[in-house]
Chain A
Amino acid sequence: MSIKLNALFSDSYVDISQYRDQHFKGNRYEQEKLLKQSCTLYVGNLSFYTTEEQVHELFSKSGDVKRIIIGLDKVKKTACGFCFVEYYTRADAENAMRFINGTRLDDRIIRTDWDAGFKEGRQFGRGKSGGQQHNTSVKTSRSPRAFSCFPS
């Protein structure tokens, strides 16, 4: 009875993107496996003034948030436009990818992507000046992570 009609019922918002973390300890396959099971999202294109409270309010709409780690400029230790949101369940994270990704927070369209899991140190921007690879508060149209494929 139960054939699923794959051709029709896609769930494209939940698919993993092309981005792979160059600093990930492990091979591509391992990283992809973690991405497909992950409950953690990377969130980009935040304003430098976006607070943990705002992120929590928005992302709680798809489920209980376990923790939020605001991304920091490596040098200045101030918010630099990204964060990680970790849920207790994968299903809640998927709903965030489906319904919160591409909508606005603090008037900016934010982008979410799967993350293999927060590890200490990953909250710091990897750009040359200490912020993100690309100054996301300037570029609003492209997902900044598209450029982060290449190590700085």
Chain B
Amino acid sequence: MSRRRHSDEGDAGSQPHKRRRTSEPIEIEDRLESLICRVGEKSTSSLESNLEGLAGVLEADLPNYKGKILRILCAVARLLPEKLTVYTTLVGLLNARNYNFGGEFVEAMIRQLKETLKSNLYSEALYLVRFLNDLVNCHVIAAPSMVAMFENFVSVTQEEDIPQVRSDWYVYAVLSSLPWVGKELYEKKDVEMDRLFNQIEGYLKYRQKTHVPMLQVWTAEKPHPQEEYLDCLWAQVQKLKKDRWQERHILRPYIAFDSVLCEALQHNLPPFTPPAHSDDAVYPMPHVVFRMFDYTDAPEGPVMPGSHSVERFVIEENLHCIIKSHWRERKTCAAQLLSYPGKNKIPLNYHIVEVIFGELFQLPSPPHIDVMYTALLIELCKLQPGSLPQVLAQATEMMYMRLDTMNTICIDRLINWFSHHLSNFQFRWSWDDWADCLTQDIEKPKPKFVKEVLEKCMRLSYHQRIVDIVPPSFSALIPANPVCSYKYEEETECPLPGLAMATTVSNAIKNRASNEEILIVLKDVPNPNQDDDDDEGDGFNPLKIEVFLQTLLHLAAKSFSHSFSALAKFHEVLKNLTDSDEGKLHILRVLYEFWRNHPQMISVLVDKLIRTQIVDCAAVANWIFSPEMAHDFTRFYVWEILHSTIRKMNKHVQKIQKELDEAKEKLEKQQNKKVEKQIFLTAETLLFKPHIREHKDDMEKNSEDEEGQLEEQIERLQEKVESAQSEQKNLFLVIFQRFIMLLTEHLVRCETSGVDINTTWYKNCIERLQQIFLMHHVIIQQYMGTLENLLFTAELDHHILAVYQQFCALQL
């Protein structure tokens, strides 16, 4: 793909001479970038000859383009970790030809490493460390100086009062480089390396692992334990050490150049002190290694490397890096994954599927947006139609079998992925294979999963389609036909209170009544809650709400747009009816009653009600936890609504905060300008430019007015931010409080009747509580103090408190 520089807007074709004169260096720089980025890709020549050729070209260009070449090489080291050894070989060749360049490169890399660490770019820093390590293999960096850097890294474990995630990262940086460089470092400095090993072992033994249960996709140890990432890597490195660092998976182009490279002079790494810990450092969160396949799963062909083999680690790292580099371009990403070097020796499709699901199910969140993984898997199926779909089906089957111990959040994501995937393949699936779920209680994970999948499939198609695609035996799991339930529909023997009013309101709306007119009509609705006379009739009147909303929704039931229009048109009436908290709660109840067969409609209407400020976020939270919703409490759509509500609240706070920051910036700029103006005015001009003296007073007054307005605006925004944050904190408090109440009730009931607490409902509920923490951890961290003082105190049942403690452990 050629990247021609696009001329500026409106400049098309003009000044061609200028372009020609200045374009040459730019074109050469682009060319250099392209050459360097593309080396290692499919080519008619061998990788070795390409590297040799490129080294020659770059060496020749060093006199004129050294700076650019240095920057490009530093960038590929940071951004293309999957091609690590290709670029370290290239640097090795350049160093052999030009010792000074090698030295400058190493210096630039160290500078870059410091910057990435200071900027909280820990994954990039990791790639840089690995790159530096592989440069030892290419005779660019002397092994003893690398070991010295490692010693400084490991000494971070001795620092006091630091978060565990800090020392974790430095240990991880050492361990994760060893597959590449362990052999070389041990050959040169085995005593020092053994000492390091002992230190690391000691650290790993005593570090806290409270966070692990919260991050595991499955709670079961079988068939694959969900290991904490450092534990797994330690086991892999130990095995590698036992195998005397024999590692055959990593592609090492530098081996072919050994005779050239070993003639090169090496550089010593300057002593590197890890930057000190600061409060605004954000270290990577710990994670759990996702495994779903082992050597028994690939029926034929190459065997899958074991879970503690270093090959497994390297393959997974590289596949993750490829996705990280190419996630925006799904076709390229799929192609790059499938052309992984060394793919003939491993069951690549299985690795790819495992890595992709590992990312999709990663807790707290996947590295990329969920829908990307669906699109990527579809592209992979297109490129490997004879093999990948089968692996995917096998994976789906396996995950279905293990639903009983799968984390609820991951089940949600599985439901979304599977239904979306099916919708791209005519919903073809061997449902009969899952007939075992039909004999289970419908709340159990397997039938629940199937039910939720079918509901999502229906949203992407229509009810009859779902009836057609599943066997008749599955009818109990088919979602309800998404029709509305109008309570004032027919004349029955005992007409409902409000039936007559409903007809009146309906006619009024059909006759294009205004908001005021509707309110007048509604005044006549009796209030079943009130015994004494309420002259104004303005208090909370549930019947009024029911009559109006049921009728309105009924008239607008045709589509989302119709319903949105209706809500917009009668916004005034709705605001009037929901003036109180009870009113807000009741409107949600009525909405639910009317649309209970159409959860999707409920979701979009709740969203609209919040956005138009007819209900607030806390009302939605209270409604979800209300006894009326107990029946649907474990249904997926309810949690989608709650999390969507929390996100809206968060975005609202962010928006106002941004407005405040922008206003403050504006004021600062204004004040700076004022100072400049004053300097301008007082310096010479007062003496030499009398007309400015006249206008000086006006100018000063104008700028004062502007400043005054800005300051007022800032004050208002400040109040707005505080009020929004207060609302946000309150929302989380309400949610957590309700969870605690529900869970405590259950735990107490079980204890008093001697029943096991671990019911299906309990697992679901406690994992939903975990989900609140995980999905919104950044915001919740702001309110930890309040949460600990008010809610998550030592008096709480330890089952509930454990969730809170695991959450705290995520950033310790």
Question: Bound state CA distance, A106 and B458, in angstroms?
Answer: 11
Q: Is there contact, CB below 8 Å, between B459 and A53?
A: yes
> Is A134 on the interface with B (CB-CB < 8 A)?
no
CB < 8 Å neighbour of B80 from A8, A52, A58: A8
Q: Is there contact, CB below 8 Å, between A61 and B330?
A: no
Contact indicator per residue, chain B 708-721, by CB within 8 Å of chain A (1) or not (0): 00000000000000
Q: Is there contact, CB below 8 Å, between B371 and A61?
A: yes
Question: Bound state CA distance, A117 and B713, in angstroms?
Answer: 31
* Interface residues of A, dominant DSSP: mixed
Chain B neighbourhood of A138, CB < 8 A: none
CB distance from A35 to the nearest CB of B (A): 13
> Is A100 on the interface with B (CB-CB < 8 A)?
yes
**Could you tell me which residues of chain B, from 326 to 380, have a CB within 8 Å of some CB in chain A?**
328-330, 369-372, 374-375, 378
Chain B neighbourhood of A3, CB < 8 A: 71-72, 75
> Is A126 on the interface with B (CB-CB < 8 A)?
no
> Is A141 on the interface with B (CB-CB < 8 A)?
no
CB < 8 Å neighbour of B460 from A7, A11, A105: A105
> Is A57 on the interface with B (CB-CB < 8 A)?
yes
Q: Is there contact, CB below 8 Å, between B461 and A54?
A: yes
CB distance from A100 to the nearest CB of B (A): 7
> Is B9 on the interface with A (CB-CB < 8 A)?
yes
Chain A neighbourhood of B80, CB < 8 A: 5, 8
Q: Is there contact, CB below 8 Å, between B559 and A5?
A: no
Chain A neighbourhood of B378, CB < 8 A: 103
Contact indicator per residue, chain B 1-35, by CB within 8 Å of chain A (1) or not (0): 10100000110000000000000000000100110
CB < 8 Å neighbour of A99 from B9, B30, B375, B607: B375
Q: Is there contact, CB below 8 Å, between A62 and B369?
A: yes
Q: Is there contact, CB below 8 Å, between A68 and B371?
A: no
Q: Is there contact, CB below 8 Å, between B460 and A54?
A: yes
Q: Is there contact, CB below 8 Å, between A103 and B460?
A: no
Question: Bound state CA distance, A61 and B369, in angstroms?
Answer: 9
Question: Bound state CA distance, A24 and B787, in angstroms?
Answer: 54
Q: Is there contact, CB below 8 Å, between B560 and A106?
A: no
Q: Is there contact, CB below 8 Å, between B74 and A13?
A: no
Chain B neighbourhood of A56, CB < 8 A: 560, 600, 604
Chain A neighbourhood of B115, CB < 8 A: 1
> Is B561 on the interface with A (CB-CB < 8 A)?
yes
Chain B neighbourhood of A148, CB < 8 A: none
Contact indicator per residue, chain B 26-60, by CB within 8 Å of chain A (1) or not (0): 00001001100110000000000000000000000
CB < 8 Å neighbour of A62 from B37, B72, B371: B371
CB distance from B181 to the nearest CB of A (A): 24
**Could you tell me which residues of chain A, from 86 to 104, have a CB within 8 Å of some CB in chain B?**
95, 98-100, 103-104
Question: Bound state CA distance, A107 and B424, in angstroms?
Answer: 7
Q: How many residues of B contact A (CB 8 A)?
A: 50
Q: Is there contact, CB below 8 Å, between B328 and A68?
A: no
Q: Is there contact, CB below 8 Å, between A99 and B560?
A: no
Residue of A at shortest CB range from B38? A7
> Is B802 on the interface with A (CB-CB < 8 A)?
no
**Could you tell me which residues of chain A, from 48 to 69, have a CB within 8 Å of some CB in chain B?**
51-54, 56-58, 61-62, 64, 67-69
Chain A neighbourhood of B561, CB < 8 A: 52, 67-70
Question: Bound state CA distance, A68 and B328, in angstroms?
Answer: 25
Chain A neighbourhood of B426, CB < 8 A: 107
Q: Is there contact, CB below 8 Å, between B79 and A99?
A: no
Residue of A at shortest CB range from B456? A57
Q: Is there contact, CB below 8 Å, between B79 and A5?
A: yes
Residue of A at shortest CB range from B423? A104
> Is B123 on the interface with A (CB-CB < 8 A)?
no
> Is B112 on the interface with A (CB-CB < 8 A)?
yes
Q: Is there contact, CB below 8 Å, between A7 and B375?
A: no
Question: Bound state CA distance, A99 and B366, in angstroms?
Answer: 16
**Could you tell me which residues of chain B, from 528 to 561, have a CB within 8 Å of some CB in chain A?**
559-561
CB < 8 Å neighbour of A7 from B33, B416, B560: B33
CB distance from A30 to the nearest CB of B (A): 10
Q: Is there contact, CB below 8 Å, between B79 and A61?
A: no
Question: Bound state CA distance, A9 and B76, in angstroms?
Answer: 11
**Could you tell me which residues of chain B, from 441 to 465, have a CB within 8 Å of some CB in chain A?**
456, 459-462
Residue of B at shortest CB range from A54? B460
CB distance from A94 to the nearest CB of B (A): 9
Question: Bound state CA distance, A62 and B374, in angstroms?
Answer: 12
> Is B145 on the interface with A (CB-CB < 8 A)?
no
Q: Is there contact, CB below 8 Å, between A98 and B9?
A: no
Q: Is there contact, CB below 8 Å, between A98 and B33?
A: no
Question: Bound state CA distance, A54 and B462, in angstroms?
Answer: 8
Chain A neighbourhood of B1, CB < 8 A: 10
Known contacts A1-B112, A98-B375, A107-B426; is-contact A58 B460 (Cβ 8 Å) = yes
CB distance from B578 to the nearest CB of A (A): 23
CB < 8 Å neighbour of B461 from A12, A99, A103, A106: A106
**Could you tell me which residues of chain A, from 1 to 21, have a CB within 8 Å of some CB in chain B?**
1, 3-14
Chain A neighbourhood of B329, CB < 8 A: 10-13, 98
Known contacts A1-B112, A29-B10; is-contact A53 B37 (Cβ 8 Å) = no
Q: Is there contact, CB below 8 Å, between B30 and A51?
A: no
Question: Bound state CA distance, A7 and B601, in angstroms?
Answer: 45
Known contacts A3-B72, A10-B329, A53-B600; is-contact A98 B372 (Cβ 8 Å) = yes
Known contacts A5-B76, A8-B80, A54-B460; is-contact A98 B37 (Cβ 8 Å) = no
CB distance from B610 to the nearest CB of A (A): 11
Q: Is there contact, CB below 8 Å, between A1 and B74?
A: yes
Chain B neighbourhood of A58, CB < 8 A: 420, 460
CB distance from A45 to the nearest CB of B (A): 14
CB < 8 Å neighbour of B72 from A5, A13, A14, A61: A5
Question: Bound state CA distance, A64 and B93, in angstroms?
Answer: 51
Chain A neighbourhood of B3, CB < 8 A: 6-7
> Is B504 on the interface with A (CB-CB < 8 A)?
no
Chain A neighbourhood of B462, CB < 8 A: 51, 54
> Is B515 on the interface with A (CB-CB < 8 A)?
no
CB distance from A11 to the nearest CB of B (A): 5
Question: Bound state CA distance, A12 and B329, in angstroms?
Answer: 7
Residue of B at shortest CB range from A55? B560
Q: Is there contact, CB below 8 Å, between A99 and B460?
A: no
CB < 8 Å neighbour of A5 from B75, B369, B459, B604: B75
CB distance from B113 to the nearest CB of A (A): 10
CB distance from A123 to the nearest CB of B (A): 11
Q: Is there contact, CB below 8 Å, between A61 and B37?
A: no
Question: Bound state CA distance, A6 and B37, in angstroms?
Answer: 10
Chain A neighbourhood of B560, CB < 8 A: 52-53, 56, 68
Contact indicator per residue, chain B 587-609, by CB within 8 Å of chain A (1) or not (0): 00000000000001100100100
Q: Is there contact, CB below 8 Å, between B37 and A5?
A: yes
**Could you tell me which residues of chain B, from 402 to 434, have a CB within 8 Å of some CB in chain A?**
416, 420, 423-424, 426
Chain B neighbourhood of A107, CB < 8 A: 426
Residue of A at shortest CB range from B80? A8
For the complex of A and B, list the 5 residue pairs with the smallest distance between their C-beta atoms, beginning with the closest: A99-B375, A57-B459, A61-B371, A104-B424, A7-B34
7 further A-B contacts with Cβ under 8 Å, apart from A58-B460, A95-B372, A103-B375, are A5-B37, A6-B3, A11-B329, A53-B559, A57-B456, A67-B564, A104-B423
What are 15 A-B contacts with C-beta separation under 8 Å? A9-B79, A9-B328, A51-B559, A52-B561, A53-B559, A56-B600, A58-B460, A61-B420, A68-B560, A98-B328, A98-B330, A98-B372, A100-B371, A105-B423, A106-B461
